[in-house]
Structure 1
Amino acid sequence: MERGTPVENRITRDFLDEGRGRSRAVDTADPAFGRTHAWLGRPIFNRPAFLQSEEVRSLDRDLGILLRVLSSLPERLHDGDPGRMARALGLNEDQAEAVTRCAVPGPPVPLGRADLLRERGRFRLVEFNTTSSLGGCEIAEMSRGMLADRPLAAFAEKQDLGYVDPVAGIMASMAVSCPTGSGLPVAVVKWPNSPETAEDFGHLDLFLRQLAELGHEAFPCHIGQLDYRGGVLTARGRRVDRLFRTFQLSRLTGATEARELAAPLLDAVADGAAAVFAPLSADLYGIKDCLGLISDGTHQDLLDPVEAEVVDRLVPWTRPLRLGRTTREGRTVDLAAHLRSEREHLLIKPSAGFAGQGITAGWMVGPEEWDRSVAEALRSGAPYVVQQRVTADAERFVDADDPDTLAPCLLNWGVFHTVHGYSGAFVKGIPHAEQDFRFLGDGSHVGCVFHRLPGPGTQEH
């Protein structure tokens, strides 16, 4: 482990107090976790992570400000034209046209999941996912399973702890973004990976159950099952006027097949016959180049003092991977030379990538492999960014092989933000491993998050 001393808040230390003995670990093989295991398919941390009230208040405020800054970039930089912004970010013409056709008037409705690391006790944001395709939003199911454990439930009651259901917040944002009085069901739309798996909706089972439990009628379909005729949009033969998309704008590759698949959705939305959540323009703000735009000193005049303070505190140094001169801590540097000299403190990542794919972390490779990865990224023609490393703090968990031992684990935090503000969170990490970014595989564990601050959508226990 790279950080020797775990950094934990008071609630975490109280929970791990050795006087609590075996009650410091929850039995995640309990049937209460059945739906969680079926959904997740990965190991579960044997306790929640905990946030203190002031941490939740800070996340609520900071992420709200940062999300407003990102979603207002078309107005600040491109005269309010999201299509123009898409082209400036290097998106293809089909994607830019789709963004323009599906533009929604008025300020964007808050929606996103921030990926954060704690560094020396304070949160730093490394990515902000701003689409409706937000992995991990079903995490409240794990929280409910945790509370089936009597010692943990007693601890939560004593500490006045609860959790927020992200799905409730997401659907509250959808109600604002796509209001309707039609009573029609919501079509949850995926993009098929192949003809063989087109009608496999198993990955949506828990999400659809949670929607039903929240009182929302919804059903799944793939984008090829949409049909738009005579001003009426149908999905699998059922009339709909609201679409919840689980695919990303990047699916519009420019290929004829992709264009034809998307046509009914784009036509219906452009005609006002249906609304899609989130608007396709939402994907623009999660492109990592946007973090470079707002953290680049040349654009500081676009931010007011409050926004600038949040960006400076929350966002690590991030720049487009383009050779030439750039700024670093108030000085001008040659990016190529900076990449070589600061390899162990940098990483490169695809600007529109996800799930840790395509990332090269300089501290995990040698100089030759680093140089090769940089050269390949530059040759690819696809946009990449270079970002300052944020060294994650560790927290302790009961060791699965030795219940009397606490083992440190570096954590990645996924924090949801909606019209409710702070809207729940989860953590990921790889026990007994150095800092890594391949959190979707390699044995990564997932945990839920409890907090002390009641708020909209909070489950009181």
Structure 2
Amino acid sequence: MTRESLTDAYLQASAGIPARDLLGELPQSDFLNALYKGRYLSRPVFLGHEEHQRLVADLDNFRTALTSLPDRLYGGDLTAFARAVGMSELQVSAVMRSRGPAPTRVGRLDMYADTSGLRVLEVNMGGALGGLDCADMSRALLEHPVLASFAERHDLTYVDTMQELVDSVFAESGFEPGSRPVVAMTDWPATFDKLSSYMTHYCARWQELGLDAHPCHVGHLDVRDDGVWLGDRKVDIIYRMFLIEDLLESAEAPGLMNPVLDAAHRGQVKIFTPMDAEVFGSKGALAMLSDERNRGLFSPAELASLDRILPWTRMVRPGKVTLENGERVDLLDYALANQEHLALKPTQLHGGHGVVLGWLPEVTPEDWHAQLTAAVDGPYVLQRRVVPVPELFQTDADDPQPWMVSWGIFTVASGYGGGFTRATTISSGTELISLTNGAAVGTVLHATT
């Protein structure tokens, strides 16, 4: 079965049941409610067996191509690569001081499902990812007998993403399972108060899974001659919830982060994930993967996956580019004439910050021209609009209603790491899907046969 046929079958199986009654044990989860405030989708989204297998292969090919870019384009010079994707010198320095032996395998591809399948909008590399608790959502939803029976009939399952994440922390930080390393789950001061309750629940879960984890922010860490301490605990691993863009928050920000990065550079503490993960999460890297000038660098399998899941993406630079049909055009002239088909995005920011969607009615041609002109030669990309196919979800009172869904597909040390969804109703008119914009959240089940 396919995503569409599984969805149709489940909507029939759950017909007449109000959305609030399909949530299983979700409303009772203190852990999830600490962050999501009860905003849950009434069902998982589905992947058929062949779709799932193809996605797993595409993820592997995509990651191989992405993480090889410094070698294939810059002779292994990560500094040159970081500058090329739009990082400031301050950020480049942070990357190089906490560089890992190999790029992390932990990441999340944010995707839309259009008529051709799942397409990548952006890549988030590293541990500072929303939705890693999606297995809790799956377990809670499957407590409802209708979904449990449906999943059994169609051989549907999910990945325990939290367990896979913990396994990845052990594998990539060099600690043996059972060693119970002390982990400082470290946020940035400006956001810690908002997330501290959720992080406390998160750390309690990790305690059960073998990590001696404790919530904090960067300012709580004490860098001493013999290492990094959190209160009376010497820290083995800093689990990085803060982002490289936090370095630019204020003039005081480097003073908070630099001692921690220096301690990692001296080998006194492990950072999971190292700051070099942020380089591969840049939208500038997507532009390099999409650029027709680089096609000769990739294998046929990598190219097939890139063509399947990556929309046309280019750095905002003057000059000629090639479109999907092979036509050569001036990038700026083309962007000005095709505003309704393009999004302008900063290469480094997350959560939709700084994104200009050319098709929105409030973005006038004059606004688009001004934004595009200001972005030239800066850390910005243009990306082809991906139009998602609406997904139907049960409501409390009416027939199923269409929602626009953003799929977050995880990668972990072992490969495919499960999926997380955020969605807004089509009727809301919200185009940037995020928790701050009121999105509801959910999870992904895939067929094993």
Change (3 A) 1:201 1:376: same
| Secondary structure in structure 2 of the residue aligned to 1:436 | coil
How does the TM-score come out when normalised to structure 2? 0.91
1:351 Cα shift? 1.2
| Secondary structure in structure 1 of the residue aligned to 2:276 | helix
Deviation string, structure 1 residues 51-74 (Cα, Å, up to 9, x no partner): 112222122111122112212222
For 2:335 and 2:42, locate their aligned partners in 1 and report how far apart those are by CA, in whole Å: 39
Change (3 A) 1:390 1:283: same
Match in the other structure for 1:219: 214
For 1:31 and 1:42, locate their aligned partners in 2 and report how far apart those are by CA, in whole Å: 11
Match in the other structure for 1:184: 181
For 2:425 and 2:181, locate their aligned partners in 1 and report how far apart those are by CA, in whole Å: 46
- Aligned residue among 51, 56, 67 for 2:47: 51
| Match status 1:331 vs 2:327 | yes
| Match status 1:400 vs 2:386 | no
For 1:436 and 1:401, locate their aligned partners in 2 and report how far apart those are by CA, in whole Å: 25
Change (3 A) 1:254 1:14: closer
Match in the other structure for 1:97: 93
For 1:134 and 1:42, locate their aligned partners in 2 and report how far apart those are by CA, in whole Å: 19
After superposition, where does 1:151-162 map in structure 2 within 5 Å?
151-162=146-157
For 2:93 and 2:352, locate their aligned partners in 1 and report how far apart those are by CA, in whole Å: 28
| Mapped contact 1:357–1:438 kept (Cα < 8 A) | no
Match in the other structure for 2:403: 409
What are structure 1's unaligned runs of at least 5 residues? 1-6, 455-461
| Match status 1:204 vs 2:199 | yes
Change (3 A) 1:224 1:443: closer
For 1:326 and 1:209, locate their aligned partners in 2 and report how far apart those are by CA, in whole Å: 51
- Read off the aligned partner of 1:184 and give its amino acid letter: P
Greater mean alpha carbon deviation, residues 276-285 or residues 378-387: 378-387
| Match status 1:445 vs 2:440 | yes
Deviation string, structure 1 residues 266-314 (Cα, Å, up to 9, x no partner): 1221111111111100111111011111110111122122111111111
For 1:431 and 1:110, locate their aligned partners in 2 and report how far apart those are by CA, in whole Å: 32
Deviation string, structure 1 residues 323-382 (Cα, Å, up to 9, x no partner): 33222132221122211221221111111121122222222126x624414423542675
- Aligned residue among 307, 314, 328 for 2:302: 307
- Read off the aligned partner of 1:33 and give its amino acid letter: P
Match in the other structure for 1:362: 358
After superposition, where does 1:42-441 map in structure 2 within 5 Å?
43-105=39-101, 107-180=102-175, 183-193=180-190, 201-253=196-248, 256-329=251-324, 330-365=326-361, 369-376=364-371, 378-379=373-374, 382-402=378-398, 405-433=399-427, 434=429, 436-441=431-436
- Read off the aligned partner of 2:33 and give its amino acid letter: H
Identity rate, percent: 33
Greater mean alpha carbon deviation, residues 282-291 or residues 207-216: 207-216
Deviation string, structure 1 residues 369-408 (Cα, Å, up to 9, x no partner): 2441442354267511111011101221113332xx1222
Alignment RMSD, CA only? 2.4
What are structure 2's unaligned runs of at least 5 residues? none
- Read off the aligned partner of 1:69 and give its amino acid letter: A
1:225 Cα shift? 1.9
For 1:318 and 1:200, locate their aligned partners in 2 and report how far apart those are by CA, in whole Å: 33
